[in-house]
Amino acid sequence: MSSIVSAFNDAFSEKLSFLKIAIYAIPVFFCIKFFMAGKMIEFNILSYITSCLLYALMTVGINNVRENNREILTLNPLKLLIVYLKSLVVTIPQGILWGGIGFAATTFCATTIPDEITVLVFSIIIWVIVGTICFTAYLSFAKYLDIRDGYNFQIIFSSCFDILAAIIFYIPQIIIAAAVVIGPFAYAFWLLHVPFDHWFFIVLCSLAIVANVSITANYFAQISYEYIVTSDDRRDDYQITKLVDEMDVNKN
pLDDT at residue 243 in the model = 42
Indicate the average pLDDT of the chain.
84
* Its pTM surpasses 0.95: no
- Domain chopping of the chain, boundaries: 4-251
pLDDT at residue 50 in the model = 94
Per-residue pLDDT reduced to its tens digit, 23-46 = 999 999 999 999 988 899 999 999
pLDDT at residue 230 in the model = 62
pLDDT at residue 232 in the model = 46
Which letter does DSSP use for residue 70 in this model? S
Residues 6+ away with beta carbon under 8 Å from 177 = 4, 8, 212, 215
Mean pLDDT of 42-59: 94
pLDDT at residue 10 in the model = 76
pLDDT at residue 24 in the model = 94
Per-residue pLDDT reduced to its tens digit, 131-190 = 999 999 999 999 899 999 989 988 889 888 888 888 888 888 878 877 777 777 777 777
Per-residue pLDDT reduced to its tens digit, 84-105 = 999 999 999 999 999 999 999 9
For 230, the 3-state DSSP assignment is coil
